[in-house]
Structure 1
């Protein structure tokens, strides 16, 4: 659970920096991909634990 929250915080920070800083849309794209990967990891881990 700690890993999930840590990656979630990193994705949010990268997303905010990507939006605020001009020309850093690549960071926003990385944040979105990281968020998707994190949610998929959490879903798979939750399904395995059942």
Structure 2
């Protein structure tokens, strides 16, 4: 009974990790798209220079 519980627990952990990694990939893609849009659509600052759209 214990090996069966361990195998099921391992399968559950691996399924959860796979789901979390897939979600993290989608989050990374969204952040990349937002960053690229901000880079391309940034407004011109004083003196005609293009400023950064983020704060740091």
Q: CA deviation at 1:40?
A: 0.4
Of the two, which has the highest radius of gyration? 2
**Displacement over 4 Å in runs of 4+:** none
- Structure 1 residue runs without a partner (length 5+): 1-21
Q: CA deviation at 1:30?
A: 0.3
TM-score normalised by the chain length of structure 2: 0.49
Taking the TM superposition and a 5 Å limit, the aligned residue runs for 1:35-46 are: 35-46=18-29
TM-score normalised by the chain length of structure 1: 0.54
RMSD of equivalent CA atoms: 0.9
Equivalenced residues, count? 29
